[in-house]
Structure 1
Amino acid sequence: MEIQQIKENCLYVSDLQRTKHFYENVLGLELISFVEGRHVFFRAGSSVLLCFLPEVTKEEHTLPPHFAYGKQHLAFEVPLSEYNEWQKKLSDQQIKIIHEQHWKENLYSFYFYDPDLHVLEIIPPGIWE
């Protein structure tokens, strides 16, 4: 038996419209589902990003309750050839890069915030290989 990947990740947010705009229009993720007052879901490659209002899912009765507060972290993998383009794209959108990390050889990643101050990271392939 083998786990092949993490298929979905959750972020807990405070404003679904703002989250929808950021992940769909700024980062370019495909919108999968939007339910006003509950969630907005996106496709990121073969993974799914689930963004919930924590106070709603905390009181969930159909599914197990789940919620979180505070800064959460996600890393988005991009082709190495697009790494610098992502830096420029975010800069053009007035999104500040808060840190760039040198990992090994010529592999770097950089960090920035989403509107809920979650720490997002852009990484090229090879950092975990």
Structure 2
Amino acid sequence: MNGSGQGAPKVRGILESALYVENLARSAAFYDRVFDFPHLFGNDALIALDVAGAGVLLLFRRGGSAKAQEMPGGVIPAHDGEGKLHAAFAIAADDLPVWEKRLDQLGIAVESRMSWPLGGTSVYFRDPDGHLLELVTPKVWPTY
């Protein structure tokens, strides 16, 4: 509830998720090789990737967004991140074996596999910066 006693307006979902990386070219090559996400935008501080037409994965060069950035339409406030972050990508349950084979063929080690109480499965692996990536089948959360 907000201060007026009425519920908050509804959001439609999470549009962007950001990871902060040391080397944009290396990270872009990794995400291209693993996911083949279309590139939406890129410069020396940022690469924006289309995730299934439903979201955007932003790869920021670590420190590259620590100062406000003036753009033609306004100013993007400063932000940055460090440490090993997490992003999860929704997949169909039937595609899980295909994904596991793909990761193996690409030489990407699966760090962990989790079977969830609702019946879903998660497979965890790392990107070149050590960020934890997850492939998630339905029935991990009540909402997915």
Provide the TM-score with structure 2 as the length reference.
Answer: 0.84
2:68 maps to: 60
> What RMSD, in angstroms, separates the aligned Cα atoms of the two structures?
1.2
Letter in 2 for 1:102: S
- Higher helix proportion: 1
Query: Any stretches of 5+ residues in structure 1 without a counterpart?
Result: none
Q: What SS class does the counterpart of residue 94 from structure 2 fall into?
A: helix
Q: How many angstroms apart in 2 are the aligned matches of 1:61 and 1:48?
A: 19
1:13 maps to: 21
Letter in 1 for 2:10: E
2:40 maps to: 32
Identity %: 29
Deviation of 1:60 after TM superposition, in Å, equals 2.2
Q: How many angstroms apart in 1 are the aligned matches of 2:121 and 2:137?
A: 7
Deviation of 1:105 after TM superposition, in Å, equals 4.9
CA contact under 8 A between 2:20 and 2:59: conserved in structure 1? Answer: yes
Q: How many angstroms apart in 1 are the aligned matches of 2:135 and 2:69?
A: 35
Query: Any stretches of 5+ residues in structure 2 without a counterpart?
Result: 1-8, 71-75
Q: How many angstroms apart in 1 are the aligned matches of 2:85 and 2:141?
A: 20
Residue number among 108, 115, 137 corresponding to 1:95 in the alignment? 108
Provide the TM-score with structure 1 as the length reference.
Answer: 0.93
